[in-house]
Each structure stands twice: as C-alpha cells, then as structure tokens.
Structure 1
Amino acid sequence: MNKPIRVAMLVHNDVKRDARVRKEARSLVEAGYDVDVYGISNDLGRIGTSQIEGATLRLLRSNKRALLRSWLEKGVIAAAALIFVALAIAAFTLGDTHWQLRWLIFIAVPAMLIAANSVRPQLSPGNLRLRLVELGLGFCASALSIYLLDKGLISLPEIIAQFALLWFISGSGLNVFHFLKQAGKLKKAYSRSGHNIQSRHRALATLLFNGVRKRKYDIVHSHDLIGLLAGKMIKEKNPDTVLIWDAHEIYEGVPDIADEYFKLCREIILNSETYIDRFITINKSIAQFYAANYNLPPASIVMNATRAVPSVQYDGRLHNAAGLPQTQKILLFQGGFAEYRGLDALMRAVPSIPRDWSVVAMGWGKLKSELDRVAKEAEAADRPPALVVIPPAAHDELVEWTAGATLGIIPYENVCLNHLYCTPNKLWEYPNAGVPILATDVVEMAEMINQWGTGFLLPRDLHERDIVRFLEKTPDSEISRAKKNCERFSEEMGWHRFESVLLDLYGSLHEQPQAKQHRRKVAV
C-alpha cells in the first residue's frame, strides 16, 4: 500500500480564523493527503500540536523579542566598541581639555548604559556578550574617572554625581524604549519601515522553516509572503520538494504602503519565481495582475467560497447577544475592525439610521474602542441601540450567528488595488446564511453581486448618507428577492466548485515529474 503524500501548509497566523487555510486543509485530508499545517501564535496555551479540520496543526511560538534580538545585540556591541575607543583616545590625547572628558563620562557612558538596558530584555538571561559590554563600560568609566581625579581635572563630588547617575540608570532600568513609547508617532513610523518589516518577515519565515525542516514532505503549500519565504528556504534545502504558492492578495497593493515595503514585496516574489512549481490565487483580476508583473506558473483560481450548508433555522442568538428585539432589522459587519474597510463611514451613519434598523459589529481589531465610543454616544431612550459591538463568533458556528442579520455589509474603501479587486470570505459567508449583501461597487465584488443578484451596491466613493439613504428607501420586498438568490448562489458557487480546482492541481503533480529548474542565488 502506497504511503499518503505528505503536505506541509505554511501560514503566518494561528490558523484559528483563517477560513481559507482551514477549507483547503480539510479538502486535502478528505482526498487522502497527510496534511500538517504550520502556524505561528503568541498564545502560549495553544503552542504545540493539535488537530484542525482533520489535519495536524503545529503551532510555533512567535517571540517578538526574538525578532529584535539580532539587530539590537549587534547595534549595542558595535556602539560599545566605538565608545570604548573614544574613551581610550580621549584619556591619552586630550590632556588638559577636561571639559571634553566631562562630556564623555557624563553623556557617553550613561548613554551606553541606557543602550544596554534597552537590549537586555531582548536577550537571553546571562548573555555573555552583554555582560562583557557592561563590565567593559564600567571599567572604562572607573579608569577614566580615577585618571581625571589623579590629574586634578575632576573633583570627587563630580565623580560621586557621575556614579549616582549611572546607579540611577541601572537601577531604574531606564532604556530607549521608554522614550519611544512617549513618541508614538516615531515608533509607528519605524514599525512601518521596509527595514523593520523585512526583519520581521525573515524572522517569521525562519521560524516556519525551522519547524518544517526536520520532517520530510512531498509538497509545501505556502500561504502569503512569509509562507513563500519559508517555502523558498525549504526548496533550497530539498530541491525535490514541490512548492505551491497561494497568494491571498496583491501584497504591494495594500493601503498606505511605504516605498520600502513595496520594494520588499516585489523582491521576495521576484527572487522566488523560479522556485514556485504551482501558483494559486483568489480571483481572475488578481491572477491577471500577477501574470502581467511576474514570471509565475499559470494561476489556478481558488476563490474564498464557503461550504454550502442546509437551510439555517435562526435561533435568535445574534439578537440576544446584541440585546435587540427579534423584530429589529440588523445591518451586520463581521470580521476584522481594520482601517479602510469602510467602518468610518458606517460609524458616521449610525446616528442617522432608521429606528427599525441597528448596526451590529461582530469581530475584533484595533478600531473596536472607536466602535464602542460611537455605540455609547448613539444611545437613546426612544429607540433600540443603533450600534452594538459583540465578540467574533466561533468559526464552526459563524453561519448560525450570521443568519440573524437582515443585510451583511462589506463597505471596503477604494484606496488600493487590493481592495479594488478583493473577493473576501464575507462575499460567500453572508449568502451562505441566507443574508443579502450591501457592498461598495469595487470590481470583483460588483461583478459577482450583479451576476447572481445576491445584494446591492453602494457608490465606490462611500459616504455615510449613502448607507442611510439605502436603509430608508429600500423596501423589504427587494431584500427578500435578494435573499432567494443567495440560496442559488451558495448551491452553485460554493466551496465544492473550487475544491475541484485545488484537487486537480494537486493531482497534476502526480502525473508528471517536476522539471529541474534554474534557480536564482539572490538572497532576500
């Protein structure tokens, strides 16, 4: 009996909410593949091996401190060396220019101690090199102080003041991140820089690579850019491994992209082109983008469809969780509370929405506090809550929660190629629960909604009054008509349609051996 083909899926998240990865893993397991899914998490309670969708989930720990370790350690060592050289030169050449020496011992030495405090949390306890830096720093400061005291160039009170300053810095743990925390904009600017993101991408890719390399796999299925970086490393180590790249979006087409990150995205893909044996993406517009800009294998289009479910009997859970009467109509936003997803316009619309409608935001993300604030401000005694924010539903129960909505909104803003061509999971999740869609008319979403009649379109340049006007003027009969179309859409455009594309792609790998490819040696 032949052994099952072993597949490693590489993902840079914890997989818990990654519906696409979960669907693909389940389909491959049901087709007889032996699938391991490698993910990354900060939740210590989930680190290790478990089961998900019939596959083995191997969650690796993402240590944010480890991501900073290399450059911080090298920076402190290099800076320390320069300071030590400067102190030595000053002690033997500056002579009577004692004011310059005072600057060295009162500015340079404390600055180096602050740097040492900054790097200490990022290094393993008892790190030898850091200890040597601190000992050397203390020795140089002490030697220079004694030299200056002996020459009469500095007084004893000044030496006491200097060591009191050093004691305070050391004892308080004062470090550069205290200052960065106060300068939030500076920290945010650095976090978005290409250099920082490149370091993070490579560190996470290396984490995935180290998790996979001790096991032998026939196929590596890499998701997104970090997965691609890790897959390339594996392919370099084991050239016979088949590498599939699954691109969920246009990575250089995200909102507010910095020039450095744009270049990094292109560099990663260009340097990985010849390693990729098969290519998957989510729709034809994004496939055309990659075909025009990169030398990749022909794209297999596997859309973010959901598995069709039998007609859902709504049990009232969404209304109950939101504290709304069962007769109240709900405009549901579900998913990540992120910028550029139209939440600003939706929040501005809240005070003006009709009394028989409520907005329910079911999800997570950095805009949650802003949503909570708007919900509080919109409270009124003469109507049900205009906005309610509730936690995300469990993946396995999502359809039962979604079924309580009257409409599901996808108000993505037209700020980048990625949004212009997006086909998010919600485009299927809402109709699968019998809920019509209200979405901005970006290219791919508009085409699908128009083709299948599963919802309604808002202007691409969305304003809050567009949402309010739609809710005021659209009769229930039109929403009911769209609701009927949702069932037909789910039956014909469900996961089964794209599962066959995925399995055909995998099947093609068995039919013909992989040709040896010339590979670039350019490092990312």
Structure 2
Amino acid sequence: MEHDEATPPPRGRIVMLVDNKVEGDSRVQKIARSAAEAGWDVTLLGRSPDGTERTWRLGAAEVRLLPVPEPLHRRRHEFRRSLRWPLAYRSGGIAEHRAQWVRAWRADLVVRSALVTRRAAAGELAGGPLRRARRALRRREVAARLLDRWVWLRTKMMNRVRYGRRFRSPWDRAYTLFWQLALGDRAWRRLEPGLWDYELAYGPEVDRLRPDLIHAHDFRMLGVGARAKIRAGGEGRRVALVWDAHEFLPGIKPWRDHARWLPAHRAHEREYAPYADAVLTVSADLAALLRREHGLAEAPGVLLNAPADDHRPADDAPPPDLRAECGIGPDVPLLVYSGAAAPQRGLDSLVEALPRLPGVHLALVVNPALRYVERLADRAARLGAADRLHVLPYVPHWQVVPFLSGADVGVIPIHRWPNHEIALITKFFEYAHARLPVVVSDVRTMAATVRETGQGEVFRAGDVDDLVRAVTAVLADPARHRAAYDRPGLLAGWTWSAQAEVLEAVYRRLLPDAPPPPHADPPAPPTPRGALRCTPPT
C-alpha cells in the first residue's frame, strides 16, 4: 500500500469480522472508524444481505460485504422425501418454478378471454363458435385454478418439511449427545455444519489480506478468526486475535427451536476461545460470565457501546427534529423508544399503556417495515390511541443523540432475558447523552444503574400498571431526573472517546512494535485491566 508524504504509513493491518451487513451495528462501525483514525489500516469484512459484494468507506476504514452461500446451513432432511408429507416438493427450486408456470398460464388465459370478448364485440365470433370458445376458456380456467391449489398444497408440505421440524425429539437429543460424547468440542461440525459457510466465505479473504491483528465480533466470527490465526502461524506469520463478545451465548434464545443449536455453538466457542490473545465485551457482568464459562485467567476488558462524540461527517445535514417528525408542539409530553422492535423488547407494554397516559405521545424509532411494528400500530388503533403513536425510521448513528433529545422521556421496557440482565445497552447511553430521564424495566444492570444515579424510574418488566406509574412519576418532575447528568464524570465516562482509548491500549499491547498513533505521546499506555492474554492449546 503506497502513501504520499502527507499521509503517514499505517501502523499495521487490522481485519475486523462481523456476521451482519455492518449498517445498523453502531458498535462495529465505531470500532472500525476509531481504529482507522488512530492510524491502523482497517478492513471490515461483513456479510452481504443479497449475495452481492459491496465496498464502501467508513471514515478511513474500508468496508467489504461478502456473499455467504449457505449450502451447509440447510439440513439433510430438507433434501429427502418425507414419509409424513409424501406430496411435498423436493428442495431445489421446483416449487417456485411450478408456481411461476401456473401464474403465467393464468395470465395467458386472461389475455385470451379478453381477445374472445373483443372479437365477439367486433362480430368476428358469434353463435356456436363463440359458445365453444367460451366453454374452452372456462374449462382451462377451472383447470388452472385446480393446478394452482395443487401446487400450493405441495409447496406448503415442502415448507412443513423444511421449517416445521423443531429438532426436539428423543432422536435429535440422542443424536446431539452421541456427537458430544464422540467429538467433544469438535461436535459442532456435525451439529451445526452451517458454521463452515462463514469460514468458506471469509477465510480466503482474511488470508489474502495478511493482517497483523484480527478483531472477531461475536461467536460466529471467533472460529473464522482463530482458524486464520492458525493458518498464519503455519506460514511463520504471527497474527494477534481479539475476540469481541457482544452477548453471552448460553443466554441467547436460539432462533431455531431444536436441541442442537446451543450445544453446537457453545462447543464451537469453547474450541476457539483459547486462541484469543485478548477478549473484549460490553459489560462487567458479561465479563465475569465469560471468565467463568471459559476458565479465563482474567476478566475480559469492558468496551462500552457508548455514543460516538466525534464521528459526524463534515458534510452531514442537521438531524431531523423529533417533534416535527411527530407533528407535535414543544409542550406535548413525548416518550421515545429507539432500537430493535421485537416482542421481547416490551413494546407491547408501551402501546398498552397509552390509553392510561392521557395526552402523552409515543415515538418508536424502529424499522417501520416489520410486521410486528404493523401489529403494534393496529393495537394502538383498537385502543383509540393511533393518533398518539408515531413510527419513525432510523437515523445515522451520529445523529441519534440530537434526534432523541427532543423527547421528554426515554423508555426501555425490555423483558427479563439472561442477556438483557447483564449490560447497559446502546440506547441507555444514547438517552443519557440526550439528557433524557429514563424509564427502564427491572433488568438487573440497568435498573441498578438508574437507582444509583437517579436518572429515572424502574418498573416491573411486562407490568403495564407499574409502567404507567413510572412514566407518570418521571413526567411529574423531569428536571430532578435530568439533574443526575450534572454529576461530574458521569457522561464523560459514557463517551466513545473514552472507550476508544481502551481499544487502542489493547491493540498497542498486542502489537508492541507498531509505531505510536499520530500525535500520540511516545510512552505506550499500560495494559488495560482485563485485556486477556490467552495461550492457544497445542
């Protein structure tokens, strides 16, 4: 890589790995941008959502989205005939082909019917020929409808075969146990072979880039990064590996309800965790869980997903005004929720509370295209509160804080799931920097923080009565809760600038021969507490 005299040479090459499309993942974006601003040569590899490779710049970092074919992601039963559903189409596209063929036939019959009608109106068809033509069209239309239903039935059976199996049968449990006993932590190769799809898509690109350090985000990318490190070692190259654990794997509710998912992914994580030279995570509680889960010598370092305070592009337009987007004035009480929309996020409780909060409006800054969001809007309409629910799209992550600041209260009604209990989530920090009083459910870490700082109220998760109480209390005295943000050092510690220093210290410890960052003081910073050094197994 060539550099002109005005551009300092990179301090080393860092390849970051994530199993999503990067957009919408503020933590990954901020880490990549901060590392590149500190002088590292950063390439962020993500997953293309549509199979098309894409490239763009994120500050000084390069982002590349890779296609990830998934042939191993599909289970073998999807390719076999089902005794329970004998009429099901086999996988491979035949169902889609037949359905499209029937649609084409029916479209053709509509045109032919129109032609017969036109010819009859013009006097070209009459009497017996006209009746025979119409009878023939009716027979074909009936046949097309019957074939359409037949294709629909066989396609439905195919989908039952493909998606209906829950992998909870005694056979599946026995299968899982057998491979666990036979292969130990290598059992994921049999239980979740789809993890190889990530390796085959990302691995060659990582090898081609020849990084000095790999920053692997979350559990799927840990294996990709560890195997790349092993291959580099076989060539005589030293590559450092940072594992950034966003969630506690045993606390995830598997999206596929079967006996294999969690044991397979835990085995995969256990196999490759020892190869990490440093472990980072999102909270002290999660760090303690990871230390116990993997027998780590030290707790992982904590890198909070705090809001970026200096990542706004120079040519960026001013953020939209939240109240203007909702069409309300400055004196109207306004609650805001920003983030993912899903039942476990507790948004149903917010909508149910609206009839009991007269005059209060609610802004949901979410993905408005989700069916779940549509159901929330329908529920608000049935409750007579449709005019007080406002569904708004996301804004760029550097605009989130000023955008949210137009509200009166930030709400986090999240349900009590294991991974929800152990972290201060992104929106918590965003509400704080927007200086919003908060109302949070009684998930452990956030509830304890709010009670300690006094920045809001806590309610029982899923309890609409208690949610109404908490919102009413905050709206009655918002100034008292906002005053919590005047506490010296509170918001300063919840900034991305502070977190970027932790990240830089980890990188500099793992790559001690790299030159210092531009404009940095010559002495290297001390090793941050919890930046774990692991010894790979032999």
1:96 is aligned to: none
Match of residue 93 from structure 1: none
User: Are positions 1:363 and 2:366 aligned together?
Assistant: yes
Distance in 2 between the 1:29 and 1:39 partners? Answer: 17
Question: Match for residue 332 of structure 1?
Answer: 336
Partner of 1:462: 462
Q: Is the 8 A contact 1:245 1:280 kept in 2?
A: yes
Paired residue type of 1:24: I
Q: Report the CA distance between 1:253 and its aligned residue.
A: 0.5
- How far off its partner does 1:432 sit? 1.2
Q: What secondary structure, in the 3-state scheme, does the structure 1 residue paired with 2:485 have?
A: helix
Name the SS of the counterpart of 1:502 in structure 2: helix
CA–CA distance in structure 2, aligned partners of residues 468 and 484 of structure 1: 22
* Greater Cα shift, 31-40 or 429-438: 429-438
Q: Distance in 2 between matches of 1:279 and 1:245?
A: 5
* Residues 276, 297 of structure 1: 8 Å contact kept: no
CA 1:319/1:197 → structure 2, altered by over 3 Å: closer, same or farther? farther
Kindly tell me: are residues 204 and 373 of structure 1, through their superposed partners in 2, closer, same or farther at Cα, counting changes over 3 Å? farther
**1:408 equivalent in structure 2:** 410
Return the alpha-carbon distance in structure 2 between the equivalents of residues 113 and 360 of structure 1: 45
Change (3 A) 1:31 1:117: closer
Task: Decide whether aligned partners of structure 1 residues 341 and 508 sit closer, same or farther in structure 2, where only a CA change above 3 A counts.
Answer: same
Once the two structures are superposed, what CA deviation does each residue of 1:208-267 show, in whole Å capped at 9, x if it has no partner? 223322221011100011111211221221122111100011111024675432212320
Which residue matches 1:376?
381
Q: Which residue of 233, 239, 243 maps to 1:241?
A: 239
One of 151, 156, 161 as aligned partner of 1:178: 156
1:214 aligns to what SS in structure 2?
A: helix
> Which residue in the other structure is 2:38 paired with?
31
Which position in structure 1 is the counterpart of 2:423? Answer: 422
| Alignment correspondent of 2:200 | 206
2:55 corresponds to which residue? 49
1:283 deviates by 1.0
CA contact 2:13–2:42 (8 Å) conserved in 1: yes
Q: Alignment RMSD, CA only? A: 3.9
SS of the residue corresponding to residue 213 of structure 1 reads: helix
Partner SS state of residue 446, structure 2: helix
Distance in 1 between residues matched to 2:534 and 2:161, nearest whole Å? 52
| 1:158 corresponds to | none
Deviates more, 1:244-253 or 1:287-296: 287-296
Query: Of residues 315, 324, 327 in structure 2, which corresponds to 1:323?
Result: 327
One-letter amino acid of the counterpart of residue 407, structure 1: V
Pairing 1:241-390 to 2, within 5 Å after superposition: 241-255=239-253, 259-296=259-296, 298=298, 299-308=300-309, 317-355=321-359, 357-364=360-367, 365=370, 367-379=372-384, 385-390=387-392
Partner SS for 2:358 = coil
* Aligned residue type for 1:186: G
Query: Per the alignment, do residues 44 and 403 of structure 1 end up closer, same or farther by CA in structure 2, a change over 3 Å counting?
Result: farther
Match of 1:98 in 2: none
Paired amino acid for 1:223? H
Task: Report deviation, 1:184.
Answer: 9.8
Give the gaps of 5 or more residues in structure 2.
1-7, 98-145, 177-187, 312-317, 515-531
Structure-1 separation of matches of 2:94 and 2:69: 15
For 1:113 and 1:374, the matched residues in 2 are separated by 37
Which amino acid is the alignment partner of residue 16 of structure 2? M
Describe the SS at the equivalent of 2:479.
helix
Q: Distance in 1 between matches of 2:192 and 2:230?
A: 20
Change (3 A) 1:270 1:210: same
CA deviations on 1:107-136 (whole Å, 9 max, x unpaired) are: 99x9699326557989xxxxxxxxxxxxxx
Distance 2:13 2:95 in 1: 42
Larger proportion of helix: 1
Which residue pairs with 1:115 in the alignment? 90
Per-residue Cα deviation, 1:36-76 (whole angstroms, up to 9, x for no partner):
0111121467x321101321001112445x45568479x45
Question: 2:479 aligns to what?
Answer: 480
- What secondary structure does 2:90 align onto? helix
Asked if structure 1 preserves the Cα contact closer than 8 Å seen for 2:37 and 2:59, the reply is no
TM-score by length of 2: 0.70
Q: By how many angstroms is 1:183 displaced?
A: 8.2
Match of 2:343, SS?
coil
Q: Per-residue displacement from partner, 1:329-353 (whole Å, max 9, x unpaired)?
A: 1111111101311122222212222
1:55-102 CA-to-partner distances (Å, cap 9, x unmatched) read 1001112445x45568479x45xx7xxx9xxxxxxxxxxxxxxxxxxx
Paired-residue identity, %: 23
Residues in 2 aligned to 1:450 and 1:308: alpha-carbon distance in whole angstroms: 26
Aligned counterparts of 1:16 and 1:184: Cα–Cα separation in 2: 30
2:128 maps to none
Can you list the C-alpha shifts for 1:479-499, whole angstroms capped at 9, x where unaligned?
A: 112223335532233222222
- The one-character-per-residue Cα deviations of 1:146-189 (angstroms, maximum 9, x if unpaired) are xxxxxxxxxxxxxxxxxxxxxx99xx878965324468972677
Give yes or no for contact 1:115–1:175 (8 Å, CA) kept in 2: no
TM-score where L is the length of structure 1: 0.72
Q: Which amino acid is the alignment partner of residue 272 of structure 1?
A: Y
Structure 2: how far apart are the matches of 1:197 and 1:352?
49
- The one-letter amino acid of 1:178's match is K
Change (3 A) 1:471 1:34: same
Structure 2 distance, partners of 1:261, 1:422, is 24
1:223 to 2:217 alignment: yes
Distance 2:449 2:200 in 1: 39
Q: Which amino acid aligns with 1:221?
A: H
1:307 & 1:40 partners in 2: Cα distance?
24
Aligned mates of 1:201, 1:366 — CA distance in 2: 29
CA 1:180–1:379 in 2, change beyond 3 Å: closer, same or farther? Answer: farther
Shift in alpha-carbon separation, 1:280–1:319, aligned structure 2, 3 A: same
User: Aligned partner of 2:452: which letter?
Assistant: Q
- Give 1:307 deviation, angstroms: 2.7
- Deviation of the 1:201 alpha carbon: 3.4
When residues 518 and 10 of structure 1 are mapped into structure 2, their CA distance, relative to the original with a 3 A threshold, is closer
In structure 2, give the amino acid aligned to 1:114. Y
Q: Which moved more, 1:385-394 or 1:178-187?
A: 178-187
Looking at structure 2, the residues matched to 445 and 351 of structure 1 have their Cα atoms a distance apart, in angstroms, of 27
Cα 1:425–1:518 change in 2 (3 A) is closer
**Unaligned regions of 5+ residues in structure 1, if any?**
84-106, 123-167
Q: In structure 1, how many angstroms separate the alpha carbons of the residues matched to 2:152 and 2:471?
A: 55
Aligned residue pairs total 432
2:506 aligns with: 505
CA contact (8 A) 2:89 2:155 kept: no
CA distance, structure 2, for counterparts of residue 183 and residue 21 of structure 1: 37
Indicate the residue corresponding to 1:519 in structure 2: 537
Compared CA separation, residues 498 and 518, structure 1 to 2 (3 A)? closer
* Distance (whole Å) between structure 2 residues aligned to residue 466 and residue 241 of structure 1: 52
SS where residue 469 of structure 2 aligns?
Answer: helix
More RCO (CA 8 Å, sep 6+): 2
Give the SS at the match of 1:115: coil
Structure 2 residue 14 is matched with structure 1 residue 7: yes
Q: How many Å separate the matches in 1 of 2:17 and 2:221?
A: 5
**Between 261-270 and 465-474, the greater mean CA deviation after superposition:** 465-474
